Protein backbone atom coordinates (compact mmCIF):
# COMPACT_ATOMS: atom_id res chain seq x y z
CA UNK A 1 0.00 0.00 0.00
CA UNK A 2 1.47 3.37 -0.99
CA UNK A 3 1.91 6.02 1.66
CA UNK A 4 1.03 8.94 -0.61
CA UNK A 5 -1.15 8.67 -3.67
CA UNK A 6 -1.92 11.62 -5.94
CA UNK A 7 -4.08 11.54 -9.03
CA UNK A 8 -4.69 14.44 -11.38
CA UNK A 9 -3.77 16.81 -8.57
CA UNK A 10 -4.30 20.50 -9.29
CA UNK A 11 -3.78 23.63 -7.29
CA UNK A 12 -4.87 27.09 -8.38
CA UNK A 13 -3.93 30.24 -6.49
CA UNK A 14 -5.61 33.55 -6.74
CA UNK A 15 -2.96 36.20 -7.22
CA UNK A 16 -4.63 39.59 -7.35
CA UNK A 17 -7.06 39.40 -10.25
CA UNK A 18 -5.38 36.39 -11.84
CA UNK A 19 -5.77 32.67 -11.16
CA UNK A 20 -2.37 30.98 -11.15
CA UNK A 21 -2.25 27.25 -11.83
CA UNK A 22 0.63 26.15 -9.62
CA UNK A 23 0.20 22.38 -9.95
CA UNK A 24 -1.30 21.04 -13.15
CA UNK A 25 -2.76 17.57 -13.02
CA UNK A 26 0.05 15.72 -11.27
CA UNK A 27 0.01 11.97 -10.63
CA UNK A 28 2.46 10.21 -8.37
CA UNK A 29 2.80 7.57 -5.73
CA UNK A 30 5.19 7.48 -2.78
CA UNK A 31 5.80 4.16 -1.17
CA UNK A 32 6.38 3.75 2.56
CA UNK A 33 10.02 3.88 3.76
CA UNK A 34 11.18 5.52 0.54
CA UNK A 35 13.57 8.45 0.21
CA UNK A 36 12.02 10.82 -2.29
CA UNK A 37 13.03 14.14 -3.78
CA UNK A 38 10.90 16.65 -5.61
CA UNK A 39 13.20 18.67 -7.80
CA UNK A 40 12.75 21.56 -10.11
CA UNK A 41 13.45 25.24 -10.47
CA UNK A 42 11.87 27.92 -8.30
CA UNK A 43 8.16 28.28 -9.04
CA UNK A 44 7.89 24.76 -10.44
CA UNK A 45 5.38 23.76 -7.77
CA UNK A 46 7.61 21.71 -5.41
CA UNK A 47 6.65 23.58 -2.25
CA UNK A 48 2.97 23.68 -3.23
CA UNK A 49 3.04 19.93 -3.67
CA UNK A 50 4.77 19.40 -0.32
CA UNK A 51 2.27 21.75 1.36
CA UNK A 52 -0.61 19.69 -0.03
CA UNK A 53 0.96 16.40 1.04
CA UNK A 54 1.57 17.95 4.47
CA UNK A 55 -2.09 19.02 4.78
CA UNK A 56 -1.05 22.65 5.02
CA UNK A 57 -2.93 23.38 1.83
CA UNK A 58 -5.88 21.82 0.02
CA UNK A 59 -5.78 20.70 -3.62
CA UNK A 60 -8.17 22.56 -5.92
CA UNK A 61 -9.06 19.30 -7.62
CA UNK A 62 -7.85 15.76 -7.98
CA UNK A 63 -7.31 13.04 -5.44
CA UNK A 64 -4.70 13.05 -2.69
CA UNK A 65 -4.41 10.28 -0.16
CA UNK A 66 -1.84 10.38 2.64
CA UNK A 67 -1.58 7.50 5.13
CA UNK A 68 -4.86 6.14 3.79
CA UNK A 69 -6.63 9.43 4.44
CA UNK A 70 -8.24 11.65 1.82
CA UNK A 71 -6.55 14.80 3.09
CA UNK A 72 -8.49 17.07 0.73
CA UNK A 73 -11.55 16.66 2.94
CA UNK A 74 -9.86 17.54 6.25
CA UNK A 75 -10.92 20.76 7.90
CA UNK A 76 -8.49 23.04 9.72
CA UNK A 77 -8.65 21.25 13.06
CA UNK A 78 -8.61 17.76 11.60
CA UNK A 79 -5.70 18.69 9.36
CA UNK A 80 -3.72 19.93 12.39
CA UNK A 81 -4.49 16.71 14.23
CA UNK A 82 -3.48 14.66 11.19
CA UNK A 83 -0.20 16.52 10.83
CA UNK A 84 0.57 16.12 14.50
CA UNK A 85 -0.06 12.40 14.31
CA UNK A 86 1.47 11.35 10.98
CA UNK A 87 3.70 14.04 9.51
CA UNK A 88 6.95 15.65 10.54
CA UNK A 89 8.30 18.85 9.02
CA UNK A 90 11.82 20.06 8.38
CA UNK A 91 12.12 23.63 7.20
CA UNK A 92 14.72 25.44 5.16
CA UNK A 93 15.24 27.98 7.98
CA UNK A 94 15.16 25.28 10.68
CA UNK A 95 12.33 27.13 12.48
CA UNK A 96 13.32 26.09 15.96
CA UNK A 97 11.62 27.86 18.82
CA UNK A 98 14.23 30.30 20.09
CA UNK A 99 13.16 30.32 23.74
CA UNK A 100 13.42 26.56 24.10
CA UNK A 101 16.56 24.46 24.46
CA UNK A 102 17.53 21.78 21.95
CA UNK A 103 15.97 19.17 24.22
CA UNK A 104 12.77 21.19 24.66
CA UNK A 105 12.49 21.89 20.94
CA UNK A 106 12.52 18.18 20.23
CA UNK A 107 10.15 17.53 23.11
CA UNK A 108 7.75 20.31 22.03
CA UNK A 109 5.46 18.22 19.72
CA UNK A 110 5.12 15.58 22.42
CA UNK A 111 3.75 18.22 24.80
CA UNK A 112 1.87 20.65 22.59
CA UNK A 113 0.71 18.32 19.84
CA UNK A 114 0.47 14.97 21.54
CA UNK A 115 0.33 14.40 25.24
CA UNK A 116 3.02 11.89 26.06
CA UNK A 117 3.79 11.16 29.72
CA UNK A 118 7.02 12.61 31.07
CA UNK A 119 9.01 9.37 31.31
CA UNK A 120 8.06 8.25 27.82
CA UNK A 121 8.91 11.70 26.47
CA UNK A 122 12.33 11.70 28.10
CA UNK A 123 13.14 8.30 26.66
CA UNK A 124 12.05 9.27 23.16
CA UNK A 125 13.82 12.63 23.14
CA UNK A 126 17.04 11.12 24.51
CA UNK A 127 16.92 8.41 21.85
CA UNK A 128 16.52 10.96 19.06
CA UNK A 129 19.16 13.28 20.49
CA UNK A 130 21.58 10.38 20.28
CA UNK A 131 20.35 9.40 16.84
CA UNK A 132 21.00 12.86 15.38
CA UNK A 133 24.23 13.27 17.34
CA UNK A 134 23.09 16.16 19.49
CA UNK A 135 23.23 14.58 22.96
CA UNK A 136 25.99 16.92 24.05
CA UNK A 137 24.05 20.04 23.01
CA UNK A 138 20.73 19.22 24.67
CA UNK A 139 20.68 22.19 27.00
CA UNK A 140 21.76 24.77 24.45
CA UNK A 141 19.43 27.30 22.88
CA UNK A 142 19.12 27.44 19.06
CA UNK A 143 21.21 30.60 18.90
CA UNK A 144 24.10 28.69 20.52
CA UNK A 145 24.42 26.00 17.83
CA UNK A 146 25.42 25.95 14.16
CA UNK A 147 23.09 25.73 11.15
CA UNK A 148 23.83 22.05 10.60
CA UNK A 149 23.15 21.32 14.26
CA UNK A 150 19.89 23.25 14.06
CA UNK A 151 18.80 21.12 11.13
CA UNK A 152 19.70 17.97 13.07
CA UNK A 153 17.47 19.18 15.89
CA UNK A 154 14.74 19.93 13.36
CA UNK A 155 15.00 16.40 12.00
CA UNK A 156 14.80 14.98 15.51
CA UNK A 157 11.74 17.16 16.17
CA UNK A 158 10.13 15.89 12.95
CA UNK A 159 10.73 12.29 13.98
CA UNK A 160 9.88 12.55 17.67
CA UNK A 161 6.19 11.74 17.29
CA UNK A 162 7.04 8.57 15.32
CA UNK A 163 5.74 10.27 12.19
CA UNK A 164 5.28 8.01 9.18
CA UNK A 165 6.24 10.76 6.77
CA UNK A 166 8.75 13.59 7.07
CA UNK A 167 8.45 16.46 4.61
CA UNK A 168 11.49 18.63 4.19
CA UNK A 169 11.20 21.76 2.05
CA UNK A 170 14.70 22.68 0.83
CA UNK A 171 16.31 21.34 4.03
CA UNK A 172 19.84 22.02 2.82
CA UNK A 173 19.35 25.39 1.16
CA UNK A 174 20.84 27.30 4.05
CA UNK A 175 23.75 24.92 4.65
CA UNK A 176 27.19 24.57 3.14
CA UNK A 177 27.84 21.57 0.91
CA UNK A 178 29.50 19.32 3.47
CA UNK A 179 26.84 20.00 6.06
CA UNK A 180 24.12 19.56 3.45
CA UNK A 181 25.47 16.09 2.57
CA UNK A 182 25.69 15.17 6.22
CA UNK A 183 22.07 16.27 6.79
CA UNK A 184 20.84 14.28 3.78
CA UNK A 185 22.92 11.38 5.06
CA UNK A 186 21.35 11.70 8.49
CA UNK A 187 17.86 11.73 6.97
CA UNK A 188 18.71 8.59 5.04
CA UNK A 189 20.06 6.92 8.16
CA UNK A 190 16.89 7.80 10.04
CA UNK A 191 14.85 6.35 7.23
CA UNK A 192 16.91 3.15 7.46
CA UNK A 193 16.75 2.94 11.25
CA UNK A 194 13.20 4.10 11.89
CA UNK A 195 11.53 3.22 8.61
CA UNK A 196 10.20 6.75 8.18
CA UNK A 197 9.47 7.97 4.66
CA UNK A 198 11.40 11.12 3.79
CA UNK A 199 10.20 13.47 1.06
CA UNK A 200 12.26 16.54 0.41
CA UNK A 201 12.44 19.25 -2.18
CA UNK A 202 15.64 20.65 -3.62
CA UNK A 203 17.01 22.35 -6.64
CA UNK A 204 20.60 21.32 -5.87
CA UNK A 205 21.58 18.65 -8.47
CA UNK A 206 24.16 17.08 -6.13
CA UNK A 207 21.71 16.73 -3.30
CA UNK A 208 18.96 15.35 -5.53
CA UNK A 209 21.42 12.60 -6.48
CA UNK A 210 21.11 11.27 -2.95
CA UNK A 211 17.41 10.54 -3.40
CA UNK A 212 16.19 7.09 -4.33
CA UNK A 213 13.15 8.43 -6.16
CA UNK A 214 13.24 11.76 -7.90
CA UNK A 215 10.15 13.52 -9.18
CA UNK A 216 10.97 16.41 -11.45
CA UNK A 217 8.57 19.27 -11.68
CA UNK A 218 8.55 21.97 -14.25
CA UNK A 219 6.01 24.70 -14.50
CA UNK A 220 3.61 22.75 -12.31
CA UNK A 221 3.79 19.57 -14.37
CA UNK A 222 5.46 16.32 -13.45
CA UNK A 223 8.20 15.25 -15.88
CA UNK A 224 8.92 11.61 -16.57
CA UNK A 225 10.72 10.06 -13.53
CA UNK A 226 14.46 9.79 -14.07
CA UNK A 227 16.03 6.46 -14.87
CA UNK A 228 17.63 6.41 -11.43
CA UNK A 229 14.30 7.12 -9.84
CA UNK A 230 12.62 4.34 -11.68
CA UNK A 231 15.48 1.98 -10.92
CA UNK A 232 15.63 3.01 -7.32
CA UNK A 233 11.97 2.60 -6.97
CA UNK A 234 11.77 -0.75 -8.63
Partner 1 sequence: MLNILKIAVRNLTRFGRRTLLTSSLITLGIVGVLLFIAVSGSFKAIMIGQFTDAMLGHLEVHHKGYVASIDSLPLNLNMQPTMVEKVDQVLKKVDAVESYSERIKLGAMFSNFTETTSIRINGVDPVKEAATTPLLPGRIIEGSKEGALIKPGEILIPTVLARGMKVKVGDTIVLVATNRDGSVNGKTFVVRGILESISGPSGKDGYITLNDARDLLRMKEPEISEIAIRLKNPAKLDQVYAELSQELSGIAGKQGQSAMAGKGGGAALEVHTWADLSPFASIVRMIDLLAVFIKVMMVSIVLISVMNVMVMAVYERIREIGTISAIGTPPGRILSLFLTEGLLLGLGGAALGTAISLAVIYALNVWKVSIHFGMQEQAIKLSPSVSASDVVTIAAMVVIMALLASLQPAWKASRMDPITALGHV
> What residues make contact with partner 1 under the rule CB under 8 A?
51, 54, 56-57, 76-77, 80-85, 87-89, 91, 93, 95, 97-100, 108-109, 111-113, 157-158, 161
Helix, strand, coil percentages for the chain (3-state, nearest 5): 40, 25, 30
User: Minimal distance in Å, beta carbon 90 to partner 1?
Assistant: 10
Relative to beta strand 69-70, strand 61-66 is antiparallel
Inter-CA distances, 60 with 8, 11, 22, 51, 218, Å: 10, 5, 10, 13, 19
Residue 84 or residue 209: which is nearer to partner 1 going by CB? Answer: 84
CB of 53 to partner 1, least distance (A): 12
The count of other CB atoms within 10 Å of the CB of residue 130 is: 11
CB of 13 to partner 1, least distance (A): 11
In the complex with partner 1, which residue's Cβ is closer, 69 or 223?
A: 69
Q: How far is the CB of 179 from partner 1 (least distance, A)?
A: 21
Judged by beta carbon, residue 93 or residue 130, the one nearer partner 1 is 93
Q: Which is nearer to partner 1, 83 or 191 (CB)?
A: 83
The Cα–Cα gap between 170 and 203 comes to 8
Query: What CA–CA distance (Å, rounded) separates 120 from 151?
Result: 24
Residue 31 or 104: which CB sits closer to partner 1?
104
In the complex, minimum distance from the CB of residue 89 to partner 1, in angstroms, rounded to a whole number: 5
CA atoms within 13 A on the CB side of 93: 3
In whole angstroms, the minimum distance from the beta carbon of 56 to partner 1 comes to 5
Handedness of CA 201, 206, 210, 211 (dihedral sign): positive
Nearer to partner 1, 157 or 191 (CB): 157
State whether residue 35 is helix, strand or coil: strand
Residue 204 CB: number of other CB atoms within 10 A? Answer: 16
Contact criterion met (CB below 8 Å) for 28 and 49: no
Amino acid sequence: MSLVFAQNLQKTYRSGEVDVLAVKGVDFTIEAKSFVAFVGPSGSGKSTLLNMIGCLDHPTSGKLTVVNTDVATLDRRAAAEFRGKHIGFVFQDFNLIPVLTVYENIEYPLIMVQAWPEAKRRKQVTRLLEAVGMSGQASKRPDQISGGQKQRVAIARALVTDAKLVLADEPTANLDHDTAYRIIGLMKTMRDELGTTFVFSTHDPKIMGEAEVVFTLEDGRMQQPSAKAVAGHA
